[in-house]
Amino acid sequence: MFRTAANRVEAALSDARDRRASGDAAGAEAALQVAWESAQALEDDHPLRQVAAWRRAKLAHDAGDSARALAALEPVLAHPDPFSHYPRGLDACQPLARSYWDQHGYGAPVLRMLWDRYAARQLADGDRYLHWAGRVQLAWDLAAAGDLVGVRDTLEQVACLAPSSFRAGPTRDPRAHDAPSSVAWLQLDMARTALRAATWAADNELGALAVELMEDGAEEAGLQRDEAFWFLEPIGLYRWRGGLSDPEDYTHAWWAAAPRLTHGRAPLHRALAAAEQTAATDPLGAAAALIAVADLAAERRWGPEWEIDALLRAARLAGPRAEPAWTQRAADRAAAYGVGVFT
C-alpha cells in the first residue's frame, strides 16, 4: 500500500506516543527521528513538520537536554510562526529558555529567535501583555551577555507602557487583577533585570533609570516595599555594591527580608544577602562566604551569572589575599557560558 510522506510522519508520531506512554524513551526518540526525517519531504510550512519538531524538542527537554531541544526547533524557527500548528509550544518557551540558560549560558541565536517568534505570535494574537513579557525574557539574555544597549532600549520601551497599552486582555500577570494593571508588574520585572545588569557592569546610568522604573512600578502595584524581597534585593544590592546613597535604607531591609525568603532558589539568595551583610564588618569572611555562594550556584546549576558574580566579588573583597583561581574560574565560566556583562 502506497504511503505518503504525511502518512509516514503520522505513523511515526503515533508510534513515538505509544512508546513514550510505555516508558520506552529510547524507542520514542528513534520514532520521532523517523518522523522528522519523513517530514523533510513535506513543504516547509506543513503542520506535521512543526508537530514533529516540537515533539522532538519536548522529549529532549523532558530528558534534561535543552541544547538538543533547541536544535530540534531550529529548522522550524525559520518560519515566521513556528507555533501556528503547535500552540502548546508557547507555554514551553520559558521553561526551555531557563533550562538552556542554566545549562549552556547566553547569546544563542536560536534562543533569541525563539523569543522573537514568541513575542511576534502573542502580538498577532492581540495579547500585548504576553508580547511584552516575551520581550522582557529576551532582555535577560541580553543583560547576561552584556548587551546593555539592548537592555536599555527594552527598559525605555517598557517604561513607556501605560495601563491602556494592554486594554482588556486577554491575559494578565498572575500578580495583577486584570490586564491593564499588569503593566506595573511587567515594569518591575524589567527594572529588576536592568538593575542586575547595572550592578554587574557597574553602569550607574542604566542603574538610575532602572531604580526610577522600579520605584514607579512598585507604587503603581501597591507593593509593600519594606517586605517585598524581589524589590529590595535588586535595589539594595545595586546601591550597596556601588557605595551609593540609600535614603530609604533598602539595603538593610533586604538583609532583614532574606532569611524569610521561600523560593526555589532561595538558598542562593539568602546566602548572598548574608555574605554581603558580613562584608560590612569582615571582608575576608564575606569573601569565603561568597565562594560558597559560587559553589552552590555551580552545583545546583542556578545560573552561571551568579557563580561568576560571587567569584569576582569575593576577589575584590579579599584584595591581595584573593586566590588567583577565583578570577580564573570566573573568566573560564564567562567564556564557556557567553556571560559578557562583567567585562
Q: Is the pLDDT of residue 3 over 70?
A: no
Distance CA 35, CA 45 (A): 15
What's the mean pLDDT in 257-283? 97
Task: Identify the burial level of 275 via C-beta atoms within 10 angstroms of its C-beta, where 0-12 means exposed, 13-18 middle and 19 or more buried.
Answer: buried
- Give the pLDDT confidence of 235-269 residue by residue, as tens digits: 999 999 999 999 999 999 999 999 999 999 999 99
Q: What would the mean pLDDT of 95-110 be, rounded to a whole number?
A: 96
- For residue range 47-95, list pLDDT tens digits in order: 999 999 999 999 999 999 999 999 999 999 998 999 999 999 999 999 9
* Sole residue written with cell 500552540: 87
Residue 1 pLDDT > 60, yes or no?
Answer: no
Q: Angle 131-133-134 (CA atoms, 0-180°, nearest 5)?
A: 65
- The answer to whether 161 touches 199, Cβ cutoff 8 Å, is no
* 7 has a pLDDT exceeding 80: yes
3-state secondary structure of 80: coil
| Between 183 and 343, the higher pLDDT residue | 183
Collapse the DSSP code of 103 into the 3-class scheme (helix H, G, I; strand E, B; otherwise coil) and give the result: helix
What integer pLDDT is reported at residue 343 of this predicted model? 83
What's the pLDDT at 260?
Answer: 95
Contact 53, 85 (CB under 8 A): no
Distance CA(38)–CA(6), nearest Å, equals: 8
Q: What is the pLDDT of residue 144?
A: 98
Whole-number Å distance between alpha carbons of 227 and 250: 10
DSSP state letter for 4: -
Grid coordinates of 260: 524569610
* Short-list 65, 64, 69, 32, CA closest to 51: 32
Residue 182: half-sphere exposure toward Cβ, Cα within 13 Å: 20
Which helix (DSSP H) or strand (DSSP E) does residue 180 occupy?
none
- Taking alpha carbons only, the member of 228, 159, 215 closest to residue 187 is 159
Alpha-carbon gap, residue 193 to 139, rounded angstroms: 7
Q: pLDDT tens, 114-147?
A: 999 999 999 999 999 999 999 999 999 999 999 9
Alpha helices by DSSP H, listed for 22-161, are 25-39, 47-62, 66-77, 89-104, 109-124, 128-145, 148-159
10-42, pLDDT tens digit by residue? Answer: 999 999 999 999 999 999 999 999 999 999 998
Per-domain boundaries in the chain:
261-343
Q: What's the pLDDT tens digit per position in 150-161?
A: 999 999 999 999
Q: What percent of the chain has pLDDT over 70?
A: 99
Q: Using one digit for the tens of pLDDT, what is the confidence trace for 188-222?
A: 999 999 999 999 999 999 999 999 999 999 999 99
